[in-house]
Structure 1
Amino acid sequence: MIYTLHGFAIFFLIYWSGLWVLHLLAIFYGKYRLHRKVKPLSTDEPYPGVSILKPLMGTDPHLVSNLETFFTMNYPMYEILFCIEDEKDPGIDVVNALLNKYPKVQAKVFIGGSTVGVNPKINNMNKAYESSIYDLILISDSGIRMKEDTLLDMVEHMTEKTGIVHQMPFTSDRNGFAATLEKIYFGTAQSRMYLGADCLGINCHTGMSTLIRKDVLEEQGGLKTFGCYLAEDFFIAKSFLDKGWKTAISSQPALQNSGICDVNSFQARLTRWAKLRVAMLPTVIIFEPLSECMVIGACAAWAASFLFRWEPLVFYLVHILVWFLCDWMLLSIVQNGSLPFKRFDFIIGWLFRECSGPYLFLLALCHPEIRWRNRVFKLTWGGIAQEVKPRIKC
């Protein structure tokens, strides 16, 4: 029994040390990688054309301003392909108003998706994808805002050996506790794993804003090939990596700016992502909870007390304090400017996120079915999805 406890104690301390290495790696890599100056647009240099796929469903208070940023980008050649599944969707009026406002921008609307799998996003985009005319495909969610030079920055990272350039998820500056909580999560826990994985060459691809070589995707059978997965972004990147292509993150994070911003919706989103990760990588069941500050801190404090007779409470409190300070540093790097909330707000939001994280993961394990808008899906090992309930007609 004593040898078993020794083994656990050693494992916890090694894993705890590895997380600190990852923490420092994310800070230094983020400082090096993010917010690098974009070269001015050159009139002498040829730029590849980009077809932008914008899947839409419904409207929210920020939809107009989010979509308008795609009409004002400083890039010489691109088209915007709006994908709307329902002909009665109110988003159609929003898009038509922007088309009238910016008649010189090359844009089209595709109404009515095609059923090529269980993934609603793939079904919605497939028609537009098959009609795209340029060599690069940018898949961009409706809640994403773009700066004038964001597309140029992404294209500049598309080297000869790179097949996918994706933006690290982050958020725009918004008011309220839920917005603060989102920014803290994406700027700390998510950024730590994302930056560390990208630096180590591990697949960390998320599809909310991603630039893809169309010819390589066509070799896989096109976008429809990945319609059997809900986490199509992960499997698209995996197929590229398996073929020897590299993936890279852009220096500008993706600015999520959804008009729906409340704690319940955000936590439901995190729970859904956890379910996807468990189905794709079953080892997540063990290692993800141990990656949480409060959990690994308690384990490491017990291990230090068991092996070295150190005071566990002091160890635990110092662990939390240093983790907190490193997260503040990482968030400041990702933000690249003043944060839109006070330090006290950060303390409250950080504690809430760190304490609720393990609970949300347990919730994901207890209820593995995934609810996505008005549909329910079940995942098998490997990430293949099956719809378990018919679509609810409103």
Structure 2
Amino acid sequence: MAPMIYTLYGFAIFFFIFWCAMWLLHLIAIFYGKYRLHKKNQMIPPEEPYPGVSIIKPLMGDDPHLLSNLETFFTMRYPIYEILFCIEDEKDPSIEVVYNLIEKYPQVPASVFIGGSSVGVNPKINNMHKAYEASSFNLILISDSGIRMKEDTLQDMVNHMTEKTGIVHQMPFTSDRNGFAATLEKVYFGTAQSRMYLAADCVRINCHTGMSTLMRKTVLEEQGGLKTFGCYLAEDFFIAKSFMDRGWKTAISSQPALQNSGICDIYSFQARLTRWAKLRVAMLPLVIIFEPLSECMVIGACTGWAASVLFKWEPLVFYLIHILVWFLCDWVLLSIVQNSSLPFNKFDFVVGWLFRECSGPYLFILAVFDPSIRWRNRCFKLAWGGIAQEMKPRIKC
């Protein structure tokens, strides 16, 4: 009987300590986000001119917002940069959009690379390889097709590229759009995602996502170039890891990345979250244990039970107070990341937040029991450590 009691108390202590750690992450994210995000740009003195930047834009398929998203790269206030568009299929509809923009903004150096290469299983790296090899500058900005840029975003990122910094990346967020799916995306990226992202960056843990990343090409070349990471689907994580292993720092820009895909629906968004969860499980197996516990509803229930065992507190009251305070902290964090009026009211936030928090554990379970990765019309399987292998056939899986 005694061993069973000790086991129960052991689990209760573990859950309570983990719960306290999650609240510490909340506080770190809120205070670090307030300190780090949305700082006004300061110009580099004239004797230190801005370095040139090669912007690599991998494109695939049509998107209702593609034209407006790409145009923001032609209108940035930055003295010297080039845009290198990468398109795998010569019949891709994005080609016409790109050439129209090049004709409209002839003062901006831009090139188009069609066909891609075969340097690994990662379709994104295969698509970008030719452009990477042809890039003119030491600073490389890899930017996904759905990203919008403000006029001073590139300047802000370069300002964070200090002598000891090898990578500057933008924290994922979303543009203001209409509809429940857009609300759900903004709630997720402004709460659950930003909480872990900001806390990880504050304590210098690799949290890098590659949707908008500025990096030093010379450091990448020391490791064999971009093609070295073609064996991974989560190439962004392993690129950042390789930089950090060599003593380089990574930093987030003060401006979050504004995702603005024209395809915005709940199914696509949840499929994206499930795919990311599969990648995390393959790269860091301990995620299977700790990620579900980081969810509000799960850790609240576990700690409610733990509090009743350790302190004889009423578990239901504890659970409800836990959810309320977590909800309020998420509202504060989202407001900090947004830095302006939210495009939805408080009721929409409540619905979106509850939907996200209740569906999160379910999506993670799906990811664990179906480890195959579906990416556009291709399907991959992952080995431990994150190395990917493409499965056949390519269209159906």
TM-score by length of 2: 0.98
1:130-165 deviations in whole A, cap 9, x for unaligned?
000101000000000000000000000000000000
The equivalent residue for 2:151 is 148
Q: Does 1:121 align with 2:142?
A: no
Measured in 1, the distance between the counterparts of 2:43 and 2:349 equals 36
1:290-333 deviations in whole A, cap 9, x for unaligned?
00000000000000001111000000000000000000000000
Q: Counterpart amino acid of 1:245?
A: W
Measured in 2, the distance between the counterparts of 1:44 and 1:14 equals 52
The equivalent residue for 2:290 is 287
The equivalent residue for 1:166 is 169
The equivalent residue for 1:373 is 376
Q: CA deviation at 1:388?
A: 1.0
Equivalence map 1:80-229=2 (5 Å): 80-229=83-232
Q: CA deviation at 1:390?
A: 3.4
Q: Counterpart amino acid of 1:281?
A: L
Measured in 1, the distance between the counterparts of 2:78 and 2:130 equals 24
1:61-103 deviations in whole A, cap 9, x for unaligned?
1000000000000000100000000000000000000001001
Q: Counterpart amino acid of 2:83?
A: I
1:332-378 deviations in whole A, cap 9, x for unaligned?
00000100000000000000000000000000011100000000000
Quote the RMSD (CA, aligned, Å).
Answer: 0.9
Q: Does 1:361 align with 2:378?
A: no
1:164-195 deviations in whole A, cap 9, x for unaligned?
00000000000000000000000000000000
SS of 2:184's equivalent in the other structure is helix
Q: Counterpart amino acid of 1:392?
A: I
Measured in 2, the distance between the counterparts of 1:210 and 1:40 equals 21
The equivalent residue for 2:393 is 390
Q: Counterpart amino acid of 2:297?
A: M
Measured in 2, the distance between the counterparts of 1:389 and 1:264 equals 24
SS of 2:384's equivalent in the other structure is coil
| Sequence identity (%) | 83
1:92-128 deviations in whole A, cap 9, x for unaligned?
0000000010011000000001000000000000000
The equivalent residue for 1:345 is 348
Structure 2 residues without counterparts, runs of 5 or longer: none
Measured in 2, the distance between the counterparts of 1:391 and 1:43 equals 52
Measured in 2, the distance between the counterparts of 1:44 and 1:384 equals 45
Q: CA deviation at 1:41?
A: 6.7
Q: CA deviation at 1:43?
A: 5.0
Q: Counterpart amino acid of 1:365?
A: V
Measured in 1, the distance between the counterparts of 2:258 and 2:48 equals 28
The equivalent residue for 2:279 is 276
Q: CA deviation at 1:45?
A: 3.3
Structure 1 residues without counterparts, runs of 5 or longer: none
From 320, 329, 332, the equivalent of 2:335 is 332
Q: CA deviation at 1:34?
A: 0.2
Q: How many residues align?
A: 393
Q: CA deviation at 1:391?
A: 2.8
From 52, 56, 73, the equivalent of 1:53 is 56
Moved over 2 A (4+): 40-45, 390-393
Measured in 2, the distance between the counterparts of 1:34 and 1:181 equals 22
Measured in 2, the distance between the counterparts of 1:176 and 1:160 equals 43
